[in-house]
Amino acid sequence: MKIFPAIDIKDKKCVRLLKGDFDNQTTYDQSPYDQALKYKEAGLSNLHMVDLDGALSGELVNLEIIKDIIKKLDVSIEIGGGIRSIDKIHAYMDIGVDKVILGSAAIKAPDFLRQACEIFEGKIALGLDAKNGKKVQIKQQSLI
């Protein structure tokens, strides 16, 4: 079994959202790098990271933070948040990210998902949020 502790980044800080609500967040004193270091020192070498700024903007806001963690700590990272183009996937792969998690963009543009899976075989994951255990949610909209 692989354990992936999570680090969510917003405004260059570690945060935790309550039920995905950006208006209801807890901000931690620990920097994303320092938190990743704690996980590494505890023997965990896989990280699940989400660029919440990227999820809001569609840009790779925290790319340098993630690059620094990979370079200095030699950990395996799966990353999500605002990844809406092949170029953004390339940017993450170029810094050594192991897997990219696509969310709403993959649902809204199935051809993007298909193309990403073909280009980056074995490196794409699909992250979906459900409400009430049965409806896929994209930015407060129910899809199924």
For the record, the structure tokens of 70 come out as: 């990979």
Q: Burial-class residue 50 by CB neighbours within 10 Å (0-12, 13-18, 19+).
A: buried
Active site residue 29: no
Active site residue 8: yes
Residue of 92, 94, 97, 10 lying closest to 48 (CA atoms): 97
- Catalytic position from the list 11, 74, 94, 129: 129
SS3 113: helix
- Catalytic position from the list 8, 11, 29, 94: 8
Active site residues: 8, 129
